[in-house]
Structure formats: structure tokens, C-alpha cells
Amino acid sequence: MPMDDVPPISDLETILDSGKIAARIRGLGEEISRDYRGRTPHLIGVLKGAWIFMADLIRAFSIDTTVDFLGIETYGSGTAPSGEVKITRDLDMTIAGRDVLIVEDILDTGRTYQYLRGVLSAHKPKSLKLVTLLNKASRRAVPVEADYVGFEVPDVFVVGYGLDYRQRFRQLPDVRRLRGGDFGETLPAPPR
């Protein structure tokens, strides 16, 4: 068994290479800049997974923005989140009256976003939208959708470009899937 039950990097299969990600992010940056023209959206990155995506996305904007971060912990295992969400790092800035754009790494069951939307709406932003790099539409458990999606992905566990498995693989420049044996569609629960 590999160290810490985490496979070696060489076992991961690339499903989105860095060139394809960069091209799609340029497109998203143009689309969002067009939609928010004349406004200064307030981007809220959901830590830790969204940090790399957010850094590239805002550099593809032709409009000005402000940024903040929210730390989130989802209880339950990686493949079967319980839907209980805890805020581990709160916002620095007020969002009242702002055009808020939440930045996520992946929309899976949708429970995290459903929770965040409820909490943030209570603070009366002018608008509230979601941009997610990846969308696993087939996994949705609650009726929420993203306003902007980078890529649709199948029901496989993906890592890299900010996404982790047991806190590993965030540094990979592309999106890869865990495969083989224990690392296919069914995964052992990551430690919490």
C-alpha cells in the first residue's frame, strides 16, 4: 500500500491538461468581464480548493474586482458528504450591496453551495452568483446550479489544480483522476 494510502503521482490519469484549462479560463474571464461590465464584482474564493483557479481567473478579467476568502469544512467522507458545513475562516469585508461571485473548485452534491448561498444572502448582497471550475452534474443532491462552469466532469474523484485527496496533489498543474483498485468511483473515507 502506498504511503498514507495515497497513490503516487505517476498513478494519476490526466483528464484536463494545463493548456486546456488555461484556454477555458480565458473564455470564462471574457464572459464574466462582459456580464459585469461597468461593475466591480466581489469575488469570494472557497478555501482551499478554489485558490489556484481564482488566481488564474481574475487575471483573465478586463474589469476591476475585489477579493475575499471563506474557509469551509464539509463533514462526512469525500464521496458522501453529510451536507453539514462549518465556516473555518470568515470573510474580512462586508458584502452588503455588492455583486458577489463565489468561486468554487467543484460543484458536486451542491450542498456546500446551497449552505453558502443561504448564509451569504442573509447579508444582502446586490447579486450572488457562482463560478465553478468543475461541475459533476450527475452527483447533484440538491437543486442548485452554477452560473458559470469551466468543465463538466464525470463521476470520478479528481485532483490537481487546487483540488486535493487527503490534502495532497493540489500542486498539479492539470486535473487528474484517481484510478485503479481502491481509487476509482468508490473511495475510502478521507480522515477528518
| Footprint on this chain of ligand IMP (rule: CB under 6 A) | 49, 74, 81, 104-112, 157-159, 163
- Measured from the Cβ of residue 185, the count of other Cβ atoms closer than 10 Å reads 12
CA distance 157 to 26: 25
Residue range at the interface with Mg ion (CB under 5 A); choices 3-11, 49-57, 59-67, 128-136: 49-57
Question: Is 108 designated active site?
Answer: yes
Catalytic residue among 17, 108, 174, 182: 108
Residue 49 sits in the site that holds Mg ion (CB under 5 A): yes
Tell me which of Mg ion, ligand IMP, none is bound by residue 163, counting a contact when its beta carbon lies within the kind-specific cut-off of 5 to 8 angstroms.
Answer: ligand IMP
Smallest separation, CB 92 to Mg ion (Å) = 19
Check residue 125 for interaction with Mg ion (CB under 5 A): no
DSSP letters spanning 65-123: -EEEEEEEEEEE-SSSEEEEEEEEE--SS--TT-EEEEEEEEESSSHHHHHHHHHHHTT
7 interacts with Mg ion by CB under 5 A: no
CA-based Rg of the chain, rounded to a whole angstrom?
Answer: 16
Q: Which residues are catalytic?
A: 108
In the complex, which residues of this chain contact Mg ion (CB under 5 A)?
Answer: 49
